[in-house]
Amino acid sequence: MAGSGGTSHAERVFRVQHAFTQLGGEVHGLAELARASGVDDSAVYRILRSGVTCGAFLRVGRGRYRLGPSTARLATRALVNSMDSTDTEELAACLDRMRRDTDGGLAFLFGLSHFGRAQRQCIEMSVGTSDLSELGASTRDVLMVNSSLRVGATGRAILAHLPEPVQRKVIAEPVPRGAGPGVYRDREELMASLAEIRANGYAVGLQECAPGWNSVAAPVFWDSAVLGAVVVLKPAEVIPAPLDRYIDVVKSAAVDMGRLVGAPAPERYIAAKGA
């Protein structure tokens, strides 16, 4: 923004809106939004007041604001549009390659969801002839355990790139019933593991989600926003050590996924315009 060469009204509006994502948390006051955005208090006040009228912001108590429903609709539309331009067959092919290149591992793509709470949901999978019962858990256990971002390489790979207030809220959640023996139970150790993931670009899970299964995961980004993660699961007794080759495969697949999800296909829009 500093290089845009101006402080037009439109730019100031975007800077105030962006300040909410920089600050994290839920509700913010006029002074902290002004500091984070670099916009003077009076301009921030006018922007917030106008934004409340159109639903971009909500006033919560005296002089306190949070993002509103029209902002949520905008974010949802951006994500929906990004997925509309994604070839699901290419996503499946990417997971199939990851499965093949990890000697038959179970390959999954999980997406980040904020419905009710920050969690993850399975978007696509490549498991060959395997069955979820091979994980040693019921369908209910698999769904409940694997939805939590505080459990497993996939959850931590996503959680590591979320704002710190969200991280602390997730870490404060109880460990889901049915989690494996390797799950992080100490909250400080869990928080420290997130810093390692950010530094390394991947996460390794040792029997976190289910006994007897290890995993390697990498986050999927759209620009700098984390959308989800890809993961490969293998039985603990057959997964190789060191994990260098598996790590390279999973990180490469995550980059490919980010490219498929985030990059627009110009020919698609040109064709639509011509129609």
User: What are 231-253's pLDDT values in tens digits?
Assistant: 999 988 888 788 999 999 999 99
Question: Cα separations (Å) of 195 from 91, 101, 112, 134, 175?
Answer: 28, 28, 19, 32, 20
Gyration radius of the chain's alpha carbons: 21
SS3 216: strand
Cα 237 from Cα 255, distance rounded (Å):
28
Residue with the bigger pLDDT between 24 and 125: it is 125
Report the pLDDT value the prediction gives residue 2, as an integer from 0 to 100.
44
Report the pLDDT value the prediction gives residue 86, as an integer from 0 to 100.
55
User: What are 118-148's pLDDT values in tens digits?
Assistant: 889 888 888 887 666 665 655 555 555 678 9
SS3 108: strand
pLDDT at 272 over 70: no
The rounded Cα 210 to chain-centroid distance in angstroms is: 22
DSSP state, residue 213:
E
Please name the residue that has the structure tokens 């497993």: 152
What pTM, to 2 d.p., does this model score?
Answer: 0.76
pLDDT at 4 over 70: no
User: What are 175-188's pLDDT values in tens digits?
Assistant: 988 888 999 999 99
Handedness of CA 148, 152, 155, 156 (dihedral sign): positive
User: What are 203-237's pLDDT values in tens digits?
Assistant: 999 999 888 889 999 999 988 889 899 999 998 88
CB 194 within 8 A of CB 167: yes
